[in-house]
Structure 1
């Protein structure tokens, strides 16, 4: 099936330099022992800073890597911060870890933002990474497995299914089946097998991860031979736009607790 082109809904024109009293954007990554993860997240933060010059952007990890979120918040001078999770769906980290970290830093006025997904900008970035993985020689896939980390929170699976529908729409109706590395079903091999049983032969794997790490690598390997795996979303400009969008949503929602700034267009 030939993919059709979809335009991602505009979030307005690029914003000017951030006011000097803008709350700090604290990007909250999960953390990984894979050194590629930190490099990738730092590249994403560089893209965010390029899109919003003058905005202070800091990094904190939930676990496994430095700087840890608690240390980043403890070192921050008293003021306003917005915690933007670099996580793609709802779950324990977004619902519990971010508010707990905010409570542990009473010298800050902290507001947690929503998880990044689902959102059309994620479908834009996923589509771009799929195109990179297959290249012109292979052409578009006839089915896609959307590989995600997985969670026991049913809302996380619902978010992945919503993203799969958005990606399918962007691909012109190509079937997109979510699959998970842990804590949820189906697994990647079972999703691939089900699509093959349905007659699909040009299957690709979309890596629904912000950065490389254990689960992203496991999913790519589990897809098996003949199933090209797209890289994680990384520093794609659409992902940086989405991080800023979640930041703007949170600070506008939190008025007047945070410094009042004009709403995003």
Structure 2
């Protein structure tokens, strides 16, 4: 029996697999030169039991993606010395005479914490990369989370019926109207994967998610669903719960420690490192 026939069973998603041979094989990661700056994964939240597991898992993925990388996480706020703040970690590197770190924001799009992050980096000479999105891998991650919740078809090429699949998706963000606007590109990519309309909305703008759901319903959607384009730490969990309650729509889980996010983090670091090394040459 296929999983599609089992109520509540997650729907598998076909994702591109890596090819081991030939010209399509996955490119090897470059070797990191000795004395290169470390990677600081900037978490836009205070350290806490909700964010730590996701962050630690992503760091593990990054280290697996790029052997030899020196990577650590830092938080906007922390009262536990085991989990340093961004300000503290950058200052520590400067005091030790180490190369200014490459700071990768753990964000899929624009967010209010970026202003503070850039200010802290400017004080120490640290490099701040772009946020992780928009990117096709983020659309893939959202698709997987929707499928796990039974809200998305696993594969457009398979023509079996799935009664629980949503016929419209609200792509929810954290970061105000700017984040919602930036999510439009990922929304287009997601719509192409799902073959249903996708509308972005801001969790932290009152009425934004409800308006997006009403728009989908007005255009014919009868089973809209909510799909967070948030990794987790950057969004107040209460906002997600409130959006679900106000709209009456089912929703997928945040992206969390999805493996492709580790790839994006490693790629952001390597791109910044390449530029830094070229400037020194």
Band of TM-score, shorter chain: 0.7 to 0.9
With 120-129 and 193-202 compared, the bigger mean Cα shift is at 193-202
Root-mean-square deviation (CA, aligned residues, Å) is 3.1
- 1:30 is paired with a residue whose SS is strand
Q: Which digits, 9 at most, give the CA deviation of each residue in 1:197-229, with x for residues without a partner?
A: 322122221111112565344224422376322
Q: Matched residues in 1 for 2:69 and 2:180: separation?
A: 33
Is 1:148 paired with 2:170?
Answer: no
Greater relative contact order, per chain length (Cα 8 Å cut-off, separation 6+):
1
Q: Matched residues in 2 for 1:122 and 1:205: separation?
A: 15
TM-score (norm 1): 0.80
2:73 alignment counterpart? 59
1:188 alignment counterpart? 209
Is 1:104 paired with 2:123?
Answer: yes
Change (3 A) 1:26 1:83: same
With 128-137 and 194-203 compared, the bigger mean Cα shift is at 128-137
1:263 alignment counterpart? none
Gaps of 5+ in 1: 261-265
Is 1:164 paired with 2:187?
Answer: yes
Q: Matched residues in 2 for 1:5 and 1:253: separation?
A: 35
- 2:172 is paired with a residue whose SS is strand
In 2, are the aligned partners of 1:24 and 1:56 still within 8 Å (CA)? Answer: yes
Q: Matched residues in 1 for 2:188 and 2:258: separation?
A: 20
Gaps of 5+ in 2: 1-12, 19-23, 154-161
With 245-254 and 222-231 compared, the bigger mean Cα shift is at 222-231
Given the alignment, which residue of 198, 206, 225 partners 2:227? 206
Q: CA deviation at 1:41?
A: 1.4
Q: CA deviation at 1:165?
A: 1.2
The structure that has the greater radius of gyration is 2
In 2, are the aligned partners of 1:8 and 1:121 still within 8 Å (CA)? Answer: no
TM-score (norm 2): 0.76
1:89 alignment counterpart? 109
Given the alignment, which residue of 90, 99, 107 partners 1:79? 99
Q: CA deviation at 1:252?
A: 2.0
Is 1:46 paired with 2:67?
Answer: no
